[in-house]
Structure 1
Amino acid sequence: MDKRTGLENGGLYDEHYVQKRIDRVDNVEESGKKLTGTFHTSGRDDMSVLAMQRLYDQVMGLAAKFKHGEQIKHVQMVVYTISQPNGPATPVDMVVDYHKYDYEFAEPPRVTSLQNTVPLPTFSDFGDDVYFVADQRGYESVVYYLAGQYLKADKSGKIVDPRLKLNKVVREISYSPNGVTVKTEDNSVYRADYVMVSASLGVLQSDLIQFKPQLPAWKVVAIYQFDMAVYTKIFVKFPKKFWPQGKGREFFLYASSRRGYYGVWQEFEKQYPDANVLLVTVTDEESRRIEQQSDNQTKAEIMGVLRKMFPGKDVPDATDILVPRWWSDRFYRGTFSNWPIGVNRYEYDQLRAPVGRVYFTGEHTSEHYNGYVHGAYLAGIDSAEILINCAQKKMCKYHVEGKYD
């Protein structure tokens, strides 16, 4: 079979061929970093990641026509061959592109901002090593540890502070120059001088919480301009292993002619020995589609893919499957935010800005680390300082710089 058309029904691609595709994508990203370094910090020069890919292809086509020694001004680019204007078109190119961008941002390159994701501040500031968190306690333990620093707890560490109200669904927030009133679904009413809203961007974009009076137009527009992405990690358990194991084989990719179709796989022999569990990640439209079908249908699709990936293996039926439904859950309405093309620092500042006595926080308000847990943590500190400056120091004016300042 022609290696450009795919081995969708079984077989491994030539390692040298695949490495060349990976190297090409890495080269384009490195040159993209140089390009964003020339952009105005306001974001006015921004473009999508896909636009950058198209631009490289076009520029290199033009560069080939220039004689040796001639220069193309204002261009710092390398070759990235894209045979179609909508991005990589072959199965290998699509899954490599998906692994590079969608697997990180949960949305395709056509909507993701280049300036705000390349280079990615999280990797630039903390390193690009990625680790799987296998701690059985999960992130919840971090939340309870932090809460225990200022809320009353018993000897076992369990929080018993009467001020903490759990399992309350906020449905209405009323605000005025004199204070705020919060009403919950069970008809409880809470009054305070200020309120900090930490609901996800997806919830803010839904009708779960009603603000009275309605939030001003500039705030609503900022909320709806930002993207709430959907990122789904599906765990599948089997009675035995049939997949590659050992060093350098933790991840494997399925190069489908359908972009994003069960493409990125991970095995857990190191984290959970003998668990016989595989993880497959889907995002965006595939996540929404899968959330709306039964787990049995999803399991059947997964088994079809795995039997194509390992045609010579005895692939048993999965014994269990876990399909998170972040998008369908009214308390999340997605997984994390992604910075889209068309939103610059001006709109971001509006997204974070308080409205009267209503303050906002969450990973989507993190200036550099939106979409990440550490972004949520640091944003909480920033938002708390903004509120404290107003409540205690009467420094209540939040400055939003002009769109192109």
Structure 2
Amino acid sequence: MDSLPNGPSSPVDMVVDYYLYDYEYAEPPRVTSLQNAVPQRTFSDFGDDVYFVADQRGYESVVHYLAGQYLNTDDSGNVADPRLQLNKVVREISYSSSGVTVKTEDGSVYQADYVMVSASLGVLQSDLIQFKPQLPKWKILAIYEFDMAVYTKIFVKFPKRFWPEGKGREFFLYASTRRGYYGIWQFEKQYPDSNVLLVTVTDKESRRIEQQSDNQTKAEIMEVLRNMFPDQDVPDATDILVPRWWSNRFYKGTFSNWPIGVNRYEYDQLRAPVERVYFTGEHTSEYYNGYVHGGYLAGIDSAEILIDCAQNQMCKYHVQGKYD
């Protein structure tokens, strides 16, 4: 492949490049740091196999199971713990050397000795939560050093199947002159007879699509599919699901990505507490950022840091030098 600043220029080379990089990191290789991408620790530590979640209970069943390990549940196994406050939008966190105060959108006020902030990197980069006093400059810089990428899986339902099936036919690539333009398609191997296609878009295309109507997106998709299958009778889609992670104020993107120039130093700063305010989330996972298991493992690590301070008075958090 040619090595132009923006990557390969021919449609076929570009979609292959996109499949190898953007499809995993949600941003092109020209902005992604190799330090965090090679080796890809998720695959080297847990294996190359990738599975699609087809459980009828949904992904949230995993969250409910984990929550049930430490929160009180009712006779049916559902979480019913008065300490868990749902549908509360945190808008302000005031902190000092003696404690924290959290205020929510509905006017509720909560006092605590410490607070753990698990909001996404995108939310931290937005104005949803106000910190009082303002976070120190080094912390703000660390938050903005990282990218909040956008990764969109669009599901499209049809009245009938018109695409080929069989072994080795789960993925199809669409070679466009525009990078990432409806390039990666998956056919519903996991949902037989559902007549659903899945197309993944990222980055600029995700942001563009989020700002247009679903009908416009559907029309673009139909044009692409009829170009992909010119000899088939491609019917109009009957339904479409377009997630809008970037537009949602509670996410402001899908997951974090390490840009060029970022290393362990900025990561340590991103995870570092500020007085009694602690931080966690997939963006604070050194090796698995961008993945659910990264958020889970980072939560354990961050909780241990907080517990060391609260119970053992071991409150010093070491940030290794940038070039150490």
Give the TM-score, by structure 1 length: 0.79
CA distance in 1, matches of 2:263, 2:190: 39
Residue 186 of structure 1, aligned match among 92, 106, 120: 106
Which position in structure 1 is the counterpart of 2:179?
A: 259
2:230 is aligned with 1:301 = no
Give the Cα–Cα distance (whole angstroms) in 2 for the partners of residues 161 and 85 of structure 1.
Answer: 53
Equivalences, count: 324
Q: Per-residue deviation at 1:271? A: 1.3
- Paired letter, 2:81: D
Q: Does 1:246 align with 2:166?
A: yes
Equivalent runs, 1:34-73 vs 2, <5 Å:
none
Matched, 1:107 2:107: no
Match of 2:302 in 1: 383
Q: Which residue of 1 aligns with 2:268?
A: 349
Q: Distance in 1 between matches of 2:301 and 2:120?
A: 17
SS in 1 for 2:321: coil
- Are 2:250 and 1:331 equivalent residues in the alignment? yes
**Structure 1 residues 278-330: Cα deviation after superposition (integer angstroms, max 9, x where no partner):** 00000000000000000000000000000000001000000000000000000
1:222 pairs with 139, 142, 149, which one? 142
Q: How much identity, in percent, do the aligned residues show? A: 85
Partner of 1:131: 51
Pairing 1:284–2:203 present = yes
RMSD: 0.8
* Distance in 2 (alpha carbons) for counterparts of 1:135 and 1:202: 29
**Alpha-carbon separation, structure 2, partners of 1:367 and 1:112:** 15
Which one of 203, 209, 220 corresponds to residue 129 of structure 2? 209
Using structure 2 for the length normalisation, give the TM-score: 0.99
In 2: Cα distance, 1:144 partner to 1:101 partner: 32
Q: What displacement does 1:85 show?
A: 3.6
Structure 1 unpaired stretches of 5+: 1-80
Provide closer, same or farther for how the CA distance between residues 397 and 301 of structure 1 changes in structure 2, counting only shifts above 3 A.
same
Of 194, 197, 201, the residue aligned with 2:117 is 197
Aligned to 1:317: 236
Equivalent residues in 2 for 1:12-91 (5 A)?
81-82=1-2, 84-91=4-11
Q: Which consecutive aligned stretches of 4+ in structure 1 deviate over 3 angstroms post-superposition?
A: none
SS of the residue corresponding to residue 180 of structure 1 reads: strand
For the 8 Å contact 1:83–1:89, the answer to whether it is kept is: no
Instruction: Assess if the C-alpha contact under 8 Å between 1:253 and 1:263 holds in 2.
Output: yes
Whether 1:371 aligns to 2:264 is: no
- 1:116 match: secondary structure: helix
Distance 1:84 1:352 in 2: 35
Query: The residue matched to 2:37 in structure 1 has which SS?
Result: coil
Higher radius of gyration, 1 or 2: 1
